[in-house]
Amino acid sequence: SRLLPSYDDDTKAEILDYLFKPNYGASLHILKVEIGGDAQSTDGTEPSHQHTEDDLNCDRGYEWYLLKEAKARNPDILTYGLSWAWPAWTGNFTDSPWNAPAKAANYTLNWLRCARDSHSLDIDYVGSWNERSYSADYLKLLRRELDSNGFPSTRIVAPDSNWDIAGEMLTDPELMDAVDIVGAHYPGMTSSSDAIKTGKLLAASEDDSTFGDNIGTGCWARLLNRNWVQGRMSATIMWNLLASYYPGLPWMGTSFMWATQPWSGHYQVKSAVYVTAHWTQFTRPGWSYLAVDSTGGSGFFAKGGTYASLVENADGTGHFSVVMEKIHHDRSKCVRPGLPEYSVEQESVTFRLTGPAAATAAAQGKLALWTSVLRYNGQESTLFEQQAPIPVARAPDGSVNFTVTVPVDGVITVSTMLTGPAKGGVAMPPSAAPFPVPYSDDFNDYPLHSEPSYFADQAGSWEVLDSRDPAHGLAMRQMVPQKPICWAGDYAPVSVFGETTWTDVNHSVDFMIDPESSATAAASIGARVTGTTRPNGVFVSVGLDGTWTAYYNLGDGKSAAQGKLPVDVKPSQWHNLALAITGSRASAWLDGIALFENMDVSTCNCPSGWTAVGTGWTYEFVWFDNYAVNSATNAGVLCAPAASGQSAILEGTSTAFDANFRYRYSFQQGSLTLISNPSLCLGVSGKDPSSGYPNVALVACDPQDASQAWDLQLNSTTTQFVNGFENKGYCMDVTGQASWAGANVELYECNGGDNQKFVLDEDGRIVNTGYVEPKKAVGACSAIPM
Residue 730, domain CATH: 2.80.10.50
Q: Is residue 627, in this structure, part of any structural domain at all?
A: yes
Whether 184 and 161 have beta carbons less than 8 Å apart is answered as yes
Q: Check residue 783 and give its pLDDT.
A: 40
Q: Is residue 62, in this structure, part of any structural domain at all?
A: no
Helix axes 63-73, 9-20, angle to 10 degrees: 60
Q: Is residue 739, in this structure, part of any structural domain at all?
A: yes
Q: Which of 206, 312, 451, 746 is catalytic?
A: 206
Q: Check residue 781 and give its pLDDT.
A: 56
335 falls in which pLDDT band (50, 70, 90)? confident
Distance CA 589, CA 96 (A): 41
Distance CA 752, CA 754 (A): 7
- Cα-atom radius of gyration of the chain, to the nearest Å? 28
Whether pLDDT at 633 is above 50:
yes
Residues in the chain: 786
More confident residue, 679 or 507: 507
Residues 572 and 681 in one domain: no
Residues 542 and 595 in one domain: yes
Whether pLDDT at 654 is above 50:
no
Q: Is residue 640, in this structure, part of any structural domain at all?
A: no
Among candidate residues 571, 604, 634, the one where a domain is terminated: 634
Q: Cβ of 265: how many Cβ atoms within 10 Å?
A: 17
Q: Is 516 a catalytic residue?
A: no
Residue 542, domain CATH: 2.60.120.560
Q: Is residue 361, in this structure, part of any structural domain at all?
A: no
Please report, as a single letter, which amino acid is at residue 422.
A
String of b and e for 515-547 (b: at least 16 CB within 10 Å)?
A: eebeeebbbbbbbbbbbbbbbbbbbbbbbbeeb
Q: Check residue 741 and give its pLDDT.
A: 65
Weakest mean pLDDT among 148-162, 561-575, 668-682: 668-682
pLDDT tens-digit series, residues 277-334? 999 999 999 999 999 987 789 999 999 999 999 999 999 999 999 999 999 998 898 9
Residues 570 and 670 in one domain: no
Among candidate residues 604, 634, 664, the one where a domain is terminated: 634
The reported pTM is 0.87
Whether pLDDT at 636 is above 50:
no
Q: Check residue 718 and give its pLDDT.
A: 58
Distance CA 190, CA 640 (A): 50
Distance CA 83, CA 45 (A): 12
Q: Is residue 238, in this structure, part of any structural domain at all?
A: no
Non-local (6+) Cβ contacts of 723 within 8 A are 684, 707, 709, 710, 711, 730, 731, 732, 747
Q: What is the mean pLDDT of the chain?
A: 91
Q: Check residue 100 and give its pLDDT.
A: 98
638 falls in which pLDDT band (50, 70, 90)? very low
Residues 460 and 562 in one domain: yes
More confident residue, 690 or 535: 535
Residues 477 and 524 in one domain: yes
Q: Is residue 652, in this structure, part of any structural domain at all?
A: yes
Residues 769 and 707 in one domain: yes
Distance CA 705, CA 175 (A): 70
Task: Give DSSP secondary structure letters for 274-286.
Answer: HHHHHHHTT--TT
Among candidate residues 576, 608, 634, the one where a domain is terminated: 634
Residues 471 and 551 in one domain: yes
Structural domain range at position 682 = 648-780
Residues 479 and 607 in one domain: yes
Distance CA 360, CA 369 (A): 16
Residues 505 and 654 in one domain: no
Helix H or strand E encompassing 110: helix 101-113
728 falls in which pLDDT band (50, 70, 90)? low
Residues 729 and 691 in one domain: yes
Q: DSSP state, 92?
A: T
Of 336, 233, 191, 331, the closest CA to residue 275 belongs to 331
Q: Is 345 a catalytic residue?
A: no
Tell me, rounded to whole angstroms, the distance of Cα 606 from its chain centroid: 24
Q: Check residue 784 and give its pLDDT.
A: 34
Please report, as a single letter, which amino acid is at residue 759.
V
Q: Is residue 331, in this structure, part of any structural domain at all?
A: no
Q: Check residue 725 and give its pLDDT.
A: 65
Weakest mean pLDDT among 43-47, 670-674, 723-727, 730-734: 723-727
Residues 466 and 541 in one domain: yes
Q: Check residue 642 and give its pLDDT.
A: 63
Distance CA 23, CA 9 (A): 22
Helix H or strand E encompassing 178: helix 173-178
Distance CA 558, CA 615 (A): 16
Q: Check residue 594 and give its pLDDT.
A: 98
| Total H helices, total E strands in the chain | 11, 46
Residues 630 and 652 in one domain: no
User: How many domains are contained in the chain?
Assistant: 2
